[in-house]
Chain A
């Protein structure tokens, strides 16, 4: 029971961490909080549904769905944000709201406002047990996938030239351009990574719920946003820490709150967030930055 709760907490935290990282990567480079991040997640969910309906084998369907999230993020930057380059933060924010609302309407009218069942493979909902412990396969896979994604991202940012340039751009974007590195390459990569992470998070989310609906991305991305702020907006280690912290606290409260108080779980979590920000306004692990373009 306790082991299962811990697994659930870490698995939920991992999903929040992936989403918060996506928000943080884009914010650290372009100073934009992308409210349409949740719709990238929803889109990947629908892409998975479509692939499975068309009879693609499960691993291939996942691959296509995650790629759809990544490509959609790049396309979103091209179409909606690039023409706004140099605009104020408020205009960018409004643009991302507009993109988010537009996509929701498209999902509602183009597909359906009702949740669609996704036929996940049977083994995903299974469990394995050691001695007294029973542990769900789904949450375990979720933890492994999140951990691998975090490691891969870390390697990319540390070991490749583009990754190094992205860390530099988070500090001082203009100087990266002075080195001859194109701004558009850095920004496109930031969106590509955020879309990949949103796509992966969508797979983990759908795996636990076996359905997709037009508002699927809203709640997890709202939580991820909170996680990113608690961690220190624009700080990548902060986003990961914030994501896990939020996931663990939520599951902990869920498991321990008496029935009468349980509906106030989110209110309690948010009060905690406010308390953290009062004590550390820059977040748990503040972002380093010199100048913004």
Chain B
């Protein structure tokens, strides 16, 4: 469904991503893991069109989407839940959700979809009229995911959904991700919590210093020496 070929990303002189190749099949969860600064967020940003690729290609559904504007990529059905949630703090929860589906759905479809999201995230119904900025970190993460799902995307890119959350909230978020996969959604998941990511993913790609150092099924990686020593602390 998505393939990234020889992606390179530069910020001025700095080469943040040297070479990333990865492929995500329909209905899969692929985990993209690696240390802080490895280039995970940059890779997701390039897929979503927020940063330009210095070279390489991003192919979605057989079409080359490299260099398209973020709004054009979003319309093709790719939704990014960015690092740090980036919900609209001065807007209500309702308005945050509404913007998520604004261009993809007709008003009645958007209302129906919003209702589905409120079913999936009951906490958001409770705070429907509250400002996004007044929610806790976990609630903001739910809102960020729900806002991205409003557009009924075919693929979501999740950037560190567990960051800064209390352990039981992390479990809630990961249960949710598993549930989303059951609905047929394709997911590219970036995580620093490698153990958790490998538990939920079908396959995983390990990034270090902007390059893919290892990839394979989640099971293979969980038992590989490199991953065990470097990321699982075993």
Q: Measuring CB to CB, which residues of chain A are less than 8 angstroms from any residue of chain B?
A: 161, 164-165, 167-168, 171-172, 174-183, 288, 290-291
- List 30 A-B pairs, Cβ < 8 Å: A161-B98, A161-B99, A161-B102, A164-B91, A164-B95, A165-B99, A167-B90, A167-B91, A168-B88, A168-B95, A168-B96, A171-B91, A175-B86, A176-B99, A177-B50, A177-B70, A177-B71, A178-B48, A178-B74, A178-B79, A178-B82, A179-B71, A179-B74, A179-B103, A180-B71, A180-B151, A181-B71, A183-B69, A183-B71, A288-B89
Question: A181 CA to B75 CA in the complex, in Å?
Answer: 9
Find chain A residues with CB under 8 A from B88 CB. 167-168, 171-172, 175
Interface string of B40-52 (1 = CB under 8 A from A): 0000000010100
Question: A182 CA to B88 CA in the complex, in Å?
Answer: 17
Flag whether B80 is at the interface (Cβ < 8 A). Answer: yes
Contact between chains at A179 and B100 (CB < 8 Å): yes
Contact between chains at A174 and B75 (CB < 8 Å): no
Q: How far is the CB of A189 from chain B (nearest CB, A)?
A: 13
Contact between chains at B69 and A179 (CB < 8 Å): no
Question: A174 CA to B82 CA in the complex, in Å?
Answer: 10
Find chain A residues with CB under 8 A from B57 CB. none
Find chain A residues with CB under 8 A from B74 CB. 177-180
Question: A168 CA to B97 CA in the complex, in Å?
Answer: 12
List 6 additional contacts besides A161-B99, A161-B102, A164-B98; criterion CB under 8 Å.
A167-B90, A171-B90, A178-B70, A179-B102, A180-B75, A180-B104
Q: Which among A161, A178, A183 is the interface contact of B80 at CB below 8 angstroms? A: A178
Q: How far is the CB of B8 from chain A (nearest CB, A)?
A: 20
Question: A179 CA to B49 CA in the complex, in Å?
Answer: 12
Question: A280 CA to B80 CA in the complex, in Å?
Answer: 37
Find chain A residues with CB under 8 A from B203 CB. none
The 3 closest A-B pairs by CB, nearest first: A180-B74, A177-B70, A180-B103
Find chain B residues with CB under 8 A from A171 CB. 88-91
Flag whether B113 is at the interface (Cβ < 8 A). Answer: no
Contact between chains at B100 and A168 (CB < 8 Å): no
Find chain A residues with CB under 8 A from B70 CB. 174, 177-178
Interface string of B98-115 (1 = CB under 8 A from A): 111011100000000000
Q: How far is the CB of A180 from chain B (nearest CB, A)?
A: 4
Q: How far is the CB of A26 from chain B (nearest CB, A)?
A: 18
Question: A167 CA to B98 CA in the complex, in Å?
Answer: 13
Question: A161 CA to B95 CA in the complex, in Å?
Answer: 9
Question: A180 CA to B49 CA in the complex, in Å?
Answer: 11
Flag whether B147 is at the interface (Cβ < 8 A). Answer: yes
Find chain B residues with CB under 8 A from A174 CB. 50, 70
Q: How far is the CB of B40 from chain A (nearest CB, A)?
A: 17
Q: Which among A167, A175, A181 is the interface contact of B102 at CB below 8 angstroms? A: A181
Find chain B residues with CB under 8 A from A167 CB. 88, 90-91
CB nearest to B147 among chain A residues: A179
Question: A178 CA to B80 CA in the complex, in Å?
Answer: 7
Given contacts A161-B98, A174-B50, A175-B82, contact A182 B90 (CB under 8 A): no
Q: How far is the CB of B90 from chain A (nearest CB, A)?
A: 5
Find chain A residues with CB under 8 A from B89 CB. 171, 288, 290
Q: How far is the CB of A175 from chain B (nearest CB, A)?
A: 5
Find chain B residues with CB under 8 A from A179 CB. 71, 74, 99-100, 102-103, 147, 151
- Among B69, B71, B95, B151, the one with the most A-chain Cβ atoms within 10 Å of its Cβ is B71
Find chain B residues with CB under 8 A from A161 CB. 98-99, 102
Question: A179 CA to B152 CA in the complex, in Å?
Answer: 11
Find chain A residues with CB under 8 A from B90 CB. 167, 171, 288
Q: Which among B71, B95, B99, B148 is the interface contact of A182 at CB below 8 angstroms? A: B71
Contact between chains at A291 and B71 (CB < 8 Å): no
Find chain A residues with CB under 8 A from B100 CB. 179
Find chain A residues with CB under 8 A from B147 CB. 179
Find chain A residues with CB under 8 A from B95 CB. 164, 168
Q: How far is the CB of B24 from chain A (nearest CB, A)?
A: 18
Question: A168 CA to B95 CA in the complex, in Å?
Answer: 9
